[in-house]
Amino acid sequence: MNYFNYFSEIEETFVRRRGKHLFLSPLDWALMETWQERGIPLHIVIRGIESVFDVFDRQPPGTRTIKSLFYCREEIESQFTEWSRSMAGKGSEDAPPADETFPVDAVKAHIESSVEQLKSVQAANIKEEVDRSVTRLEELLTNLSSNGEIVDSTLADIEKLLLHSILTNWDREHLKAIEKEMRSQLREYKADMDEAAYKQTYDLLLSKRLREEAGVPRLGLYYL
């Protein structure tokens, strides 16, 4: 299951059950990214969404409207906890099949595309780190390993370098304005989130917005 399919399947399910087309909010995308990074299986997320809407559909019309994936978060967390407990102690023969390895040609094309995108970045305040990242990616291409885990770890390190550079060198006043905007988007949901979940969601929203502004691509293999 690659990154695109994970997101697109969740989006399709939510929009289908919602009954009308709508654009998912930045918070919705941050939540999906949180679930993906935590390793919550797609079938758990889908089942959680379906369960929430099954209950909703039995309520009298006009009771309320589900406008965001956030309303499915509690059910998804509950089902993931239950699933994790059921998997604990099972042998490897009972474990779900691992994701298919990433084909070397696809990895190579992904890195080459990322290099080209980074070379087109115009933000002068992060040019040094962008140039360093391009160099590291080109070195990675020259000595490309067939071990996806090793490659993905290297890509993650380069991503961290780029994000740290953006956070450090972005215009301070503009950064403060973005941070205020992110807190505003999360305000109505904060009371229902524990501190760790709130921080992770906030960080994902912020980093996503900053990468988009800078024109910096996601590098990890799940973004193939």
From 94, 119, 154, the end of a domain falls on 94
The CB-side HSE value for 85 (13 A sphere, CA atoms) comes to: 6
What angle (nearest 5°) sits at the alpha carbon of residue 7, between those of residues 24 and 98?
Answer: 160
**Pair (52, 150) in one structural domain:** no
Note whether residue 159 is domain-resident.
yes
Span 189-203, pLDDT tens digits: 888 778 888 888 889
Q: Are 189 and 28 in contact (CB under 8 A)?
A: no
Q: Whole domain around residue 133: which residue ranges?
A: 104-223
The pLDDT confidence band at residue 97, using thresholds 50, 70 and 90, is very low
**Pair (138, 199) in one structural domain:** yes
Query: What is the average per-residue pLDDT within 36-48?
Result: 88
Note whether residue 99 is domain-resident.
no
Work out the mean pLDDT of the chain and round it to a whole number. 85
% of the chain exceeding 70 in pLDDT: 89
DSSP sequence for 3-22 = HHHHHHHHHHHHHHHHTS--
Q: Are 123 and 215 in contact (CB under 8 A)?
A: yes
The pLDDT confidence band at residue 101, using thresholds 50, 70 and 90, is low
**Pair (173, 84) in one structural domain:** no
**Pair (115, 213) in one structural domain:** yes
Query: What is the average per-residue pLDDT within 135-163?
Result: 91
The pLDDT confidence band at residue 217, using thresholds 50, 70 and 90, is very high
* Whole-angstrom distance, CA of residue 81 vs CA of residue 85: 6
From 35, 60, 94, the end of a domain falls on 94
Residue 69 has a CB neighbour count (10 Å cut-off) of 26
**Pair (108, 49) in one structural domain:** no
The pLDDT confidence band at residue 35, using thresholds 50, 70 and 90, is confident
Query: What is the average per-residue pLDDT within 3-22?
Result: 82
CA-to-CA separations, 94 to 39, 78, 89, 200, in angstroms, rounded = 18, 22, 10, 31
- Whether 96 has a pLDDT exceeding 80, the answer reads no
- pLDDT given for residue 109 in this prediction: 94
**Pair (76, 114) in one structural domain:** no
Query: What is the average per-residue pLDDT within 6-12?
Result: 88
% of the chain exceeding 90 in pLDDT: 43
pTM of structure: 0.69
**Pair (85, 164) in one structural domain:** no
Note whether residue 52 is domain-resident.
yes
Number of folded domains that form the chain: 2
Query: What is the average per-residue pLDDT within 6-17?
Result: 88
